[in-house]
């Protein structure tokens, strides 16, 4: 197991290095001038050049990249061009809301998607199956922006059950999490359905039923446990993706997550923030995948570490 | 019957006198914005959103009377004394003005503030406005430790000497870059001063959870004792404009900082119940197509004039739901020096085609039109493309992110035509020189400059320079006439196709008390210190 962890950790570090090189290079090659974005339209060319020099943007690529790598190794993500604040401080203030939204979204995806998937599998070919598959399709196809605004209008405005956006307790978290939950539930429903159908056709299920086990217990003890492995992998992927921020949902609900932070930075070519969030996102995805793979043998003893 | 009339009359009289009474002191308001506030450092933060907020926290030597473009003293006791040669301005500061950390403001603070704006390390966007101060360039280049033209004269006197007289200097001193900052707080916070601002202003910042909201509370020791009216202002950031609109109708938000969202615009403007909540004013800005004199057929002034005649500006106004006023020239109507006699180019596609034929393009030509990719600009670009096609000009559209369009536009010989949607040229201060030097002069016709036509006429530069030195009080009318002549000459060169001046719509809640002067101030947009709420 230690060998497995060791090799995976090494792989993850490699991924992060490659991600940092690619992101930094792309930011450098952008046909846009961060100095002009900081200076605004009214500044003279002399002022723009002065700002460019102060930000170190007139140095050759290799010089800029090595400085950046040097700071990164010391966990210093630099300072935002536009805001002057430390990027790590800016990101730190957005991480907890991002984690909350991630947890809420995944919880709702599972709460909505898994039971629907089970129901569809148990009623294969009949109307519940068609209904669930149709809903899954709609949920995945619905544009997030439209879904978010519709939920706000219905549940926060028309019927004031929830606040109109903003950050706070569970009350404020519910609608944004629900928007993401509805969108993602479809995937979990389909995955659960197909996994369960496969498992239910196995011989050990027939054996359990033949032994006299009730259908419910068969489901719980034997079927579900064998069906969850790909679900766990999916959750891992989801965690990673959500940790990069979800700009559409954050924008509609005014949720102070990483998505909005990096979106605002992209518009004004605020490179330190962009690179900082991308690297953090790569880190989160790598970590989440690592955890998902690590957890597999505990869910299914047939899986061995390689 | 008679009693009822009497009652009605006395009620009318009462309400009239009540509306004339001083605004109620106290209460709080909520304003919402879509974008986060980037910084509150007055030397750095310079956009429509953070300038009014900086005005809550800081003061400058000069300011404008609320709702007008008339300069008035603020931290200074009176308008400055000007030397005979027009180059030296002497300000006397009010004694007893305190920074929010308790220390009294003195002359050396003003010297520090302006030197800080000039210092390259500050990275201030406003640096070039103050390089006219004597010794500024030497200070910027590191050849001098102080700015020779900035002198403290005693505890409360400040003398500023310029290299040459500048008629717009007092406007420049009223800009946010000149809002006074305390040296020790800047030293303490370092680069984080923008998030921990300390000034002399009517409000102080009490909390700012990142990405959520900023809370400002009354400064009890403010030197204007009747200001501010409100106890508290909460600035909510990151709120989607449509959701903010819903919040306003529910009474949770008092002011939409970004104006009425486009999605709800028609509905609000045609609904009589919102009539008292909506205010509008024409902005002092111009949205235009810039025509690059360095690219292909556009080198010929006749081609540029033909393009001007080919564009149907009314069609563009329809795309933006009428939120604009048709533009005839570079200057907006509210800018001093605007010539009402200037007619611009009339929409006449037939004449445009004829002129193109004379210029040697009977079958038109191919070109490229740049636009930013945020709605409605691509749709406007399509309308412009159609108009050009009707006279034989085949324009392909490049729709890109704003930062990329700016980069292409400011590179010589690159972008033939650029639609300025989303980047209208807006006044920095109410003086026509601001519509000349940054965008139409030889100095700005370089790589990285904002003179997108890359036009350079040294004779016009000399005329503008001479006009800017007409600082004697009696010369102001003659100066404006001179600028009108300069812009008339520029009109003949057809460097832009001026399309419209934006009309800014503000929407407020019923409980917020504020009219055009406080909510559509031509310089600051929102003057928070003069807003109040019903009890």
pLDDT per position as a tens digit, B152-166: 999 999 999 999 999
Chain B CB within 8 Å of residue A287 CB: no
B19 pLDDT tier (thresholds 50, 70, 90): very low
| Distances in whole angstroms, Cα of residue B16 to Cα of each of B10, B11, B12, B275 | 10, 8, 6, 20
Mean pLDDT of all residues in B494-502: 97
What does the pLDDT look like over B397-432, one tens digit per residue? Answer: 999 999 999 999 999 999 999 999 999 999 999 999
Arithmetic mean of pLDDT over chain A: 89
- Amino acid B84: pLDDT: 93
Q: Assess contact for A158 and A152: CB atoms under 8 A.
A: no
Q: How many CA atoms lie within 13 A of B466 on its CB side?
A: 12
Question: How confident is the model at residue A222, as a pLDDT?
Answer: 74
Q: Would you call A40 and B46 a contact, using CB atoms and an 8 Å cutoff?
A: yes
Least confident of A128-142, A224-238, B85-99, B343-357: A224-238
Give chain A's length.
Answer: 306
Q: CA B429 to CA B280: how far, in whole Å? A: 20
- Say whether residue B90 is in contact with chain A using an 8 A CB cutoff: no
List, in sequence order, every residue forming a beta bridge with B256; answer none if it has no partner: B32, B507
pLDDT > 70? residue B8: no
- The predicted pLDDT at position B406 comes to 96
Residues of B in contact with A254 (CB under 8 A): 212, 236-240, 243
CA distance A243 to chain B (A): 17
Average pLDDT in the B349-378 region?
96
Interface check for B39 against chain A (CB to CB < 8 A): the answer is yes
Closest CA to A240 of A92, A91, A106: A106
Chain-wide mean pLDDT for chain B?
A: 93
CB contact under 8 A, A31 and B407: yes
pLDDT of residue B18: 44
Cβ A45–B44 below 8 Å, yes or no?
no
Q: Could you tell me which residues come within 8 angstroms of residue B282 by beta carbon, excluding any fewer than 6 positions away?
A: B325, B332, B333, B334, B501, B502, B503, B504
Instruction: Calculate the alpha carbon distances from A144 to A54, A178, A180, A251 in Å.
Output: 40, 11, 8, 11
| Chain B touched by A157 (CB under 8 Å) | yes
Nearest Cα of chain A lies from the Cα of B361 at a distance, in angstroms, of 33
Instruction: Provide the number of CB pairs (under 8 Å) joining chain A to chain B.
Output: 162
Least confident of A243-247, B136-140, B188-192, B513-517: A243-247
Q: What is the DSSP string of B299-346?
A: GSHHHHHHHHHH--HHHHHHHTTT-EEE--SSS-TTSTT--TT-----
Closest CA of chain B from A283, distance in Å = 23
Record: contact A256-B212, CB cut-off 8 A: yes
B291-341 pLDDT per residue, tens: 999 999 999 999 999 999 999 999 999 999 999 999 999 999 999 999 999
The pLDDT of residue A244 is 84
Instruction: Tell me if A164 and B247 make a contact (CB, 8 A cut-off).
Output: yes
* pLDDT-derived band at B9, boundaries 50, 70, 90: low
Q: Is B78 on the interface with A (CB under 8 A)?
A: no
Query: Which residues 214-253 of chain A have a CB within 8 Å of chain B?
Result: 250-253
Q: How far apart are CA B181 and CA B76, in angstroms?
A: 15
Which residues does chain A have within 8 Å of residue B410's beta carbon, measured at their own beta carbons?
A: 33, 36
Whether the CB of B46 is below 8 Å from some CB of chain A: the reply is yes
Task: Work out the minimum CA distance from A256 to partner chain B, whole angstroms.
Answer: 5
For B136, the enclosing helix (H) or strand (E) is: helix B136-140
Closest partner residue to A165 (CB to CB) among B194, B239, B406 is B239
Q: Which of B35, B128, B247 sits opposite A43 (nearest CB)?
A: B128
B263 in contact with A at a CB cutoff of 8 Å? no
**What confidence score (pLDDT) does residue B23 get?**
79
Copy the structure tokens of residue A161: 């059950």
CB contact under 8 A, B127 and A33: no
DSSP B503-534: EEEEEE-SSEE--HHHHSBTTTB--GGG-EE-
Cα separation, B324 vs B346, in Å, equals: 18
Query: Chain A, 64-83: which have a CB under 8 Å from a chain B CB?
Result: 79, 82-83
Residue B24: pLDDT above 60?
Answer: yes
pLDDT of B21: 52
What is the spatial distance between Cα B250 and Cα B268, in angstroms, rounded to a whole number? 15
Bridge partners of residue B426, in order along the sequence: B285
Q: Note whether A57 contacts B: Cβ–Cβ < 8 A.
A: no
* 3-state DSSP assignment of residue B58: coil
pLDDT digits (tens, 9 = 90+) for A207-238: 888 887 777 777 777 778 778 888 988 999 89
B243 inside 8 A of chain A by CB: yes
Contact A46 B131 (CB under 8 A): yes
For every residue of B65-114, DSSP letters joined together read: -TTSS-EEESSBSSSPEE-TTS-EEEEEBPTT-B-TTSPBP-HHHHHHHH
pLDDT tier for residue B510 given thresholds of 50, 70 and 90: very high
Q: Indicate yes or no: CB of A261 within 8 angstroms of CB of B401.
A: no
What three-state secondary structure class fits B162? strand
- Token pair for B115: 């030197």
Q: How many CB atoms lie within 10 A of CB A210?
A: 8
Chain B (156-195) residues lying within 8 Å, Cβ to Cβ, of chain A: 191-195
Considering Cα of A34, then A35, then A38, then A42, what sign does the dihedral take?
A: negative
Q: What is the pLDDT of residue B17?
A: 45
Instruction: Please indicate whether, in this complex, the C-beta atoms of A90 and B210 are within 8 angstroms of each other.
Output: yes
Q: How far is A66 from chain B (nearest CA, A)?
A: 22
Whole-complex ipTM: 0.90
Closest CA to A225 of A69, A118, A147: A118
Cross-chain CB nearest to B194 (options A31, A84, A269): A84
Give the end-to-end CA distance of chain A in Å, rounded to a whole number: 8
- Nearest CB neighbour to A40, from listed B125, B242, B247: B125
Asked if the C-beta of A144 comes within 8 angstroms of chain B's C-beta atoms, the answer is no
For the CA atoms of B33, B36, B38, B43, the dihedral, rounded to the nearest 10 degrees, stands at 10
Which residues of chain A make contact with B252, given a CB cutoff of 8 A?
A: 164
Q: pLDDT tens across B254-298, in order?
A: 999 999 998 899 999 999 999 999 999 999 999 999 999 999 999
- Indicate the pTM of the whole model: 0.91
Distance from C-alpha of B397 to C-alpha of A183, rounded to nearest angstrom: 35
Mean pLDDT along residues A25-39:
91
Residue with the bigger pLDDT between B22 and B252: it is B252
Give the number of other CB atoms < 10 A from CB of residue B262.
14
B403–A255: do the CB atoms touch at under 8 Å? no
Establish if B137 touches chain A: CB-CB under 8 angstroms: no
Percent of chain B at pLDDT > 70 equals 96
Q: What is the structure's pLDDT at B156? A: 97
Q: What is the mean pLDDT of residues A23-49?
A: 92
Residue B3 has pLDDT above 80, yes or no: no
Among B35, B39, B447, select the one facing A83 at the smallest CB separation. B39
pLDDT band at A297 (very low <50, low <70, confident <90, very high): confident
Query: Residue A257: its chain B contacts at CB < 8 A?
Result: 211
Determine whether the interchain pair B447/A45 forms a contact, defined as Cβ–Cβ distance below 8 Å. yes
Cβ distance of B128 and A252 shorter than 8 Å:
no
């Amino acid at each position: 197991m230690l060998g497995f962890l060791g090799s995976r950790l090494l792989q993850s570090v490699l991924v992060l290095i490659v991600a940092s090189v690619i992101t930094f290079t792309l930011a450098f090659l952008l046909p846009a001038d961060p100095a002009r974005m900081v200076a605004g339209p009214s500044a003279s060319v002399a002022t723009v050049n002065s700002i460019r020099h102060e930000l170190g943007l007139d140095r050759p690529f290799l010089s800029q990249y090595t400085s950046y790598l040097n700071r990164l190794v010391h966990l210093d993500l630099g300072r935002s061009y536009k805001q002057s604040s430390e990027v790590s401080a800016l990101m730190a203030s957005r991480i907890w809301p991002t984690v909350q939204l991630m947890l809420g979204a995944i919880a709702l995806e599972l709460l909505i998607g898994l039971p629907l998937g089970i129901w569809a599998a148990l009623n294969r070919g009949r109307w519940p199956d068609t209904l669930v598959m149709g809903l899954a399709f709609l949920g995945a196809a619905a544009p997030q922006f439209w879904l978010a605004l519709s939920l706000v209008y219905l549940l926060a405005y028309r019927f004031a059950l929830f606040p109109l956006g903003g950050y706070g307790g569970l009350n404020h978290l519910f609608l944004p999490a629900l928007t993401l939950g509805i969108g993602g539930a479809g995937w979990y429903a389909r995955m659960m359905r197909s996994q369960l159908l496969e498992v239910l056709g196995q011989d050990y299920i027939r054996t359990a039923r033949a032994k006299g086990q009730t259908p419910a217990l068969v489901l719980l003890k034997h079927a579900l446990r064998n069906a969850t492995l790909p679900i766990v992998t999916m959750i891992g992927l989801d965690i990673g993706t959500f940790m990069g921020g979800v700009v559409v949902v954050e924008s509609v609900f005014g949720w102070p997550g990483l998505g909005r932070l990096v979106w605002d930075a992209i518009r004004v070519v605020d490179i330190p923030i962009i690179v900082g969030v991308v690297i953090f996102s790569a880190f989160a995805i790598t970590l989440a995948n690592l955890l998902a793979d690590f957890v597999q043998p505990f869910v299914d003893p047939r899986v061995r570490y390689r | 019957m008679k009693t009822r009339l009497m009652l009605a009359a006395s009620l009318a009289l009462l309400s009239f006198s009540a509306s004339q009474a001083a605004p109620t002191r106290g209460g709080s308001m909520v304003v919402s914005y879509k974008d986060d506030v980037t910084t509150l450092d007055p030397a750095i933060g310079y956009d429509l959103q953070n300038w009014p907020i900086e005005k809550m926290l800081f003061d400058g030597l000069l300011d404008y009377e609320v709702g007008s473009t008339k300069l008035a003293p603020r931290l200074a006791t009176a308008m400055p004394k000007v030397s005979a040669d027009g180059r030296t301005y002497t300000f006397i500061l009010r004694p007893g003005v305190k920074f929010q950390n308790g220390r009294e403001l003195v002359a050396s603070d003003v010297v520090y503030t302006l030197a800080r704006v000039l210092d390259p390390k500050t990275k201030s966007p406003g640096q070039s406005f103050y390089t006219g101060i004597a010794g500024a360039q030497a200070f910027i280049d590191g050849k001098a430790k102080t700015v020779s033209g900035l002198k403290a004269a005693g505890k409360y006197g400040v003398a500023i000497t310029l290299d040459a007289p500048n008629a717009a200097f007092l406007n420049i001193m009223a800009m946010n870059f000149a809002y006074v900052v305390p040296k020790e707080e800047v030293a303490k916070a370092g680069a984080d001063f923008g998030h921990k601002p300390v000034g002399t202003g009517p409000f102080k910042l009490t909390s700012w959870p990142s990405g959520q909201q900023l809370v400002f509370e009354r400064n009890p020791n403010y030197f204007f004792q009747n200001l501010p009216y409100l106890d508290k202002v909460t600035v909510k950031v990151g709120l989607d404009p449509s959701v903010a609109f819903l919040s306003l109708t529910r009474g949770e938000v008092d002011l939409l900082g970004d104006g009425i969202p486009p999605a709800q615009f028609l509905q609000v403007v045609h609904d009589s119940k919102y009539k008292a909540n909506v205010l509008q004013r024409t902005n002092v800005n111009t949205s235009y197509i810039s025509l690059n004199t360095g690219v292909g057929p556009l080198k010929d002034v006749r081609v540029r004039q033909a393009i001007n005649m080919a564009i149907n500006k009314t069609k563009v106004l329809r795309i933006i739901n009428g939120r604009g006023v048709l533009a005839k020239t570079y200057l907006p109507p509210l800018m001093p020096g605007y010539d009402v006699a200037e007619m611009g180019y009339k929409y006449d596609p037939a004449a445009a085609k004829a002129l193109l034929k004379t210029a040697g393009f009977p079958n038109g030509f191919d070109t490229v039109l740049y636009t930013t990719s945020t709605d409605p600009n691509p749709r406007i670009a399509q309308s412009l493309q159609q108009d050009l096609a009707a006279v034989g000009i085949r324009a392909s559209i490049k729709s890109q992110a704003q930062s990329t369009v700016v980069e292409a536009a400011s590179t010589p010989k690159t972008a033939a035509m650029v639609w300025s949607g989303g980047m209208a040229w807006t006044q920095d201060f109410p003086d026509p020189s601001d519509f000349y030097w940054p965008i139409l002069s030889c100095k700005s016709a370089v790589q990285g400059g904002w003179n997108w036509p890359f036009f350079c006429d040294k004779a016009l530069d000399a005329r503008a320079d001479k006009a800017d030195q007409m600082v004697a009080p009696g010369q102001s009318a003659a100066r404006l006439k001179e600028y009108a002549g300069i812009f008339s000459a520029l009109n003949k060169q057809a460097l832009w196709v001026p399309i419209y001046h934006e009309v800014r719509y503000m929407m407020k809640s019923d409980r917020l008390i504020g009219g055009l002067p406080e909510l559509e101030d031509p310089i600051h947009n929102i003057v928070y210190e003069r807003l109040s709420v019903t009890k």
